[in-house]
Amino acid sequence: MAPLAERYARGALMGVLNVTPDSFSDGGAFADLETALLHGRRMAAEGAAIVDVGGESTRPGARPGSAELELARVLPVIAGLAAEGIPVSVDTSKAEVARAALIAGAVLVNDVTALRGDPEMASVIADAGADLCLMHMLGEPRTMQDAPTYRDVVAEVESFLAERTEVAVAAGVREERLVLDPGIGFGKTPEQSMTALARLGELQSLGFPLLVGASRKRFISTVTPSEPHQRLGGSIAAHLLAAQNGARMIRAHDVAETVQALRVAAAIREQG
Ligand code: HH2
């Protein structure tokens, strides 16, 4: 497979497909297989370059569940979409889940723990030659929103991602397979998340493609009070700024609207 940066040279949308009962914005909505497959197909048709299938919520306060349960949720969806030629990633921090997902046809592992969750994860990804998203998170989902503090959030995200990149490469993951993510809302106050978005460009010095997932996140409601399903405008605003500040991949729930916004912004920029 061509390097990730080449495949997504013009920017790529990662559509979110949560096959969970308890995700913060769409828990339960795609829990049965047929509904999940329909939604995955729809996101691909709307312009998602890849569909990110997750079987465990990482919302603040969430506790990890078993690999068996996660596998039962994600595998049929990944196998079904991959068989139709839709590129799929798996949102997991468990090596056992990643291994089975890659065999079923997933091409990217989206590990919100950046290889800290499972000692086997790096070798599973290296052996498969798969793509890997390394995301910054302070702490773990159960505790990450307990007063996160930084001296300089962007500098600390940057040095964390640099260190995790070295760990991945030392374990055999090729540099051209990596994409890095500042982890909006993961161990960050709303202000810290917005700082990470505003100064995203600084992370370009790491030399890897960047991914940003701001979709429906809580920082939006601190600017304009809103429930998760009412945060489309704020999500698009954040994603447009992220793209302008160098994000190569955008992880979003609302694919059609986000793709339209990103394409119109890019078309306008080309005229300037
Ligand atoms: N955000 C969520 C989950 N996975 N992965 C990456 N790389 N970046 C993110 O920002 C990110 C992510 C949380 O959103 P969601 O999947 O909608 O919720 P939940 O974790 O509750 O399933």
* pLDDT band at residue 140 under the 50/70/90 scheme: confident
Give the pLDDT confidence of 45-103 residue by residue, as tens digits. Answer: 999 999 999 999 998 888 888 999 999 999 999 999 999 999 999 999 999 999 999 99
Give the pLDDT confidence of 206-262 residue by residue, as tens digits. Answer: 999 999 999 999 999 999 999 999 999 999 999 999 999 999 999 999 999 999 999
Can you tell me the distance from the alpha carbon of 210 to that of 219, in angstroms, rounded to the nearest whole number? 20
Residues 110-128: what's their mean pLDDT? 98
Short-list 153, 161, 158, CA closest to 134: 161
Indicate yes or no: pTM above 0.95.
Answer: yes
* Per-residue confidence (pLDDT) for residue 145, from 0 to 100: 83
- Site of tokens 């046809």: 105
Can you tell me the distance from the alpha carbon of 161 to that of 148, in angstroms, rounded to the nearest whole number? 17
Catalytic residue among 216, 217, 218, 248: 217
Residues 141-159: what's their mean pLDDT? 92
Residue nearest to atom 15 of ligand 1 (CA): 23
Q: Which atom of ligand 1 is nearest to the CA of 183?
A: 10
Produce one character per residue of 2-16: b if its CB has 16 or more CB atoms within 10 Å, e if not. eebbebbeebbbbbb
For 108, list phi and psi in degrees, rounded to 5: -140, 140
**Residue 192 CB coordination number (10 Å):** 22
Which amino acid is located at 161 in the chain?
L
Can you tell me the distance from the alpha carbon of 3 to that of 131, in angstroms, rounded to the nearest whole number? 9
The answer, yes or no, to whether any atom of ligand 1 lies below 6 A from the CB of 213, is: yes
Q: Which helix (H) or strand (E) holds 68?
A: helix 67-83
Annotation says 94 is catalytic: no
- Mean pLDDT score of the chain: 96
